[in-house]
């Protein structure tokens, strides 16, 4: 029997394959115990030379000080570029601009610029603050007026839940990039075909900027399926079936999670993707293994 493999980038040696760029997303810890885990995970992931690590911004600016504190410490203590997320929910332009200037003063030159969601959740219509930025594109323009930040924005392989149709979704993405963003990072997705179709749509609309896949390893199927439902990402039945019955079997769950994420990442690699953003949820292990598959090694 002969197997005719197409060229697989994932099977090339380090010398032959392209260099992969990875970034890791964290959230600002709320308690001392969570902060300990944050730094423990950072200690494992920082030596892998990520392009940057990012720290999210809580709904309505609830983590404003903590996000700034964490990105400043990451930069100072690990030397890695840190990106601060920022939303424009419930804040005036002046207030948001003050946060941007705070990042600037702390030497942070990367921002992930987002509209954010109303406090009631993504299902509710977004009403801008009367004196605030109206959407993410408006926010990107405001940030770029303040300084030469490297700005990333959000993209939605399954369409943003509030978007009436694909054209509106792609138009909004284009507006954010035209306003001065460098790249987009996608919402979590679990079927690579959704991502490939989305990239085709974006390229057909003249979007040339990188569309970096946001990879969410399924540390806990129950928790991630809850997150996915809240942000409008679907979990295909074939993925759900792989975790079926594993709630009380953490060891097998972890092995399946690793296999599922590895399959997703390597399929992207074999289709020419070279940049990845990993949602860590402040846990290192699965992401560490995935970055290793991409050739990342500690010093």
- Interface residues for ligand FAD in 54-93 (CB under 6 A)? 56-57, 59, 85, 87
- Interface residues for ligand FAD in 178-217 (CB under 6 A)? 185, 187, 214
Among 22, 114, 233, 281, binds ligand FAD (CB under 6 A): 114
Closest approach of ligand FAD to the CB of residue 203, in Å: 17
Tell me the C-alpha distance between 134 and 175, whole Å: 13
- By CB under 6 A, which span of 44-52, 159-167, 200-208, 264-272 interacts with ligand FAD? 159-167
Tell me the C-alpha distance between 276 and 212, whole Å: 6
Residues 6+ apart with CB under 8 A from 252: 246
Interaction of residue 29 with ligand FAD, rule CB under 6 A = no
Interaction of residue 177 with ligand FAD, rule CB under 6 A = no
For the question of residue 263 being annotated catalytic, the response is no
Token readout for 104 is 């600037």
With respect to ligand FAD, which residue has the nearer C-beta, 123 or 298? 123
With respect to ligand FAD, which residue has the nearer C-beta, 214 or 243? 214
Closest approach of ligand FAD to the CB of residue 42, in Å: 17
- By CB under 6 A, which span of 155-163, 191-199, 233-241, 284-292 interacts with ligand FAD? 155-163
Among 81, 158, 169, 194, binds ligand FAD (CB under 6 A): 169
Residue 118 CB neighbours (<10 A) = 15
Interaction of residue 162 with ligand FAD, rule CB under 6 A = yes
Among 50, 116, 132, 157, binds ligand FAD (CB under 6 A): 116
With respect to ligand FAD, which residue has the nearer C-beta, 135 or 220? 135
Residues in contact with ligand FAD by CB under 6 A are 56-57, 59, 85, 87, 112, 114-117, 122, 135-136, 154, 160, 162-164, 168-169, 172-173, 176, 185, 187, 214
Residues that are catalytic: 25
């Amino acid at each position: 029997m002969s197997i005719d493999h197409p060229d697989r980038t994932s099977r090339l040696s380090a010398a032959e394959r392209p260099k992969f760029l990875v970034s890791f997303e964290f959230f600002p810890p709320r308690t001392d115990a969570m902060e300990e885990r944050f730094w423990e995970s950072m200690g494992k992931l920082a030596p892998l030379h990520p392009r940057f690590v990012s720290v999210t911004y809580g709904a309505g600016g609830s983590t404003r000080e903590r996000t700034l504190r964490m990105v400043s410490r990451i930069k100072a203590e690990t030397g890695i570029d840190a990106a601060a997320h920022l939303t424009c929910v419930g804040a005036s332009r002046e207030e948001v601009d003050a946060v941007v200037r705070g990042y600037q003063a702390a030497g942070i030159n990367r921002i992930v610029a987002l509209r954010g969601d109303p406090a009631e959740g993504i299902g509710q219509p977004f009403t801008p603050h009367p004196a605030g930025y109206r959407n993410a594109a408006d926010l990107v323009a405001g940030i770029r007026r303040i300084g030469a930040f490297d700005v990333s924005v959000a993209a939605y392989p399954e369409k943003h839940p509030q978007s009436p149709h694909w054209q509106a979704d792609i138009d909004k993405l284009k507006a954010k990039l035209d306003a001065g963003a460098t790249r987009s990072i996608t919402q979590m997705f679990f079927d690579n075909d959704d991502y490939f179709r989305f990239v085709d749509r974006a390229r057909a609309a003249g979007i040339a900027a990188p569309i970096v896949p946001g990879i969410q390893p399924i540390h806990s199927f129950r928790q991630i399926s809850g997150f996915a439902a809240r942000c409008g990402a679907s979990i295909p039945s074939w993925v759900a079936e792989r975790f079926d019955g594993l709630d009380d079997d953490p060891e097998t769950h972890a092995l399946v999670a690793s296999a599922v994420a590895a399959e997703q990442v390597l399929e992207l690699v074999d289709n020419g993707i070279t940049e990845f953003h990993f949602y860590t949820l402040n846990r290192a292990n699965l992401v560490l293994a995935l970055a290793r598959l991409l050739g990342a090694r500690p010093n």
